[in-house]
Amino acid sequence: MKKLVLVLVALVAITAIASADGYKKGDKYIGPLVGMGWHDLMLGGQFEYGFHENISGGAILGWSSQSEDYYWAEYTYTYIAIGAQGNYHFKPGEKFDPFVGAVLGYDIVSWDVKYNPGYTSWYGYDATANSMFFGGALGCNYDFSPTMVGTARVGYPYYLAAGVSFKF
């Protein structure tokens, strides 16, 4: 176990000091995001493409779901966000790259209630509310290596998120 931990620490140290050239035009990033979203823990991912020296665009996706079981019913909430994002990078070419961005997308929200026998309804009911959204984001990327980038962001649809993206 100690050897495994030492190997992992060595790999992290090597990738942290490896030559990384930061964001630049033509870069493509893809990776998962984990954070807090509309209702609870939110899972998803993002894709970015460098259109310009400072500007990238791409897609962002998020999914969140929560179920509560009460003695009279079971409630399930599900939230999906699909959007297009555009980001302005303040320090292109640097390992530490802060950015500000905008997201235009579509929210899919559903709520399902299943009543237990003996309460209001045996059948329950469903509700769905879909809508367009416009949100902003602030964040930073940190290049761990020439092919791996860490991301932290606040905004919408993720209120707070972190992830690892891979350049290709």
- CATH number of the CATH domain containing 160: 2.40.160.20
At residue 20, the pLDDT reads: 55
Q: 123: pLDDT confidence band, cut at 50, 70 and 90?
A: low
Task: Tell me which of 15-29, 40-54, 76-90 is least confident.
Answer: 15-29
Q: Is the pLDDT of residue 164 over 60?
A: yes
Position 111 confidence tier, pLDDT thresholds 50, 70, 90:
confident
Q: Exposed, middle or buried by CB within 10 Å (0-12, 13-18, 19+), for 94?
A: middle
Compute the average pLDDT of residues 54-79: 90
Q: Is the pLDDT of residue 9 over 50?
A: no
Confidence of residue 5 (pLDDT cuts 50, 70, 90): very low
Mean pLDDT calculated for residue range 125-150: 91
Mean pLDDT over all residues of the chain?
Answer: 85
Which percentage of the chain shows pLDDT scores above 70?
82
Question: pLDDT band for position 79 (50/70/90)?
Answer: very high
Q: Report the number of distinct structural domains present in the chain.
A: 1
Residue span of the structural domain in which 139 resides? 2-167
State the SS3 of the chain: CHHHHHHHHHHHHHHHHCCCCCCCCCCEEEEEEEEECCCCEEEEEEEEEECCCCEEEEEEEEEEEEEEECCCEEEEEEEEEEEEEEEEECCCCCCEEEEEEEEEEEEEEEEEEEECCCCCCCCCEEEEEEEEEEEEEEEEEEECCCCEEEEEEEECCCCEEEEEEEEC
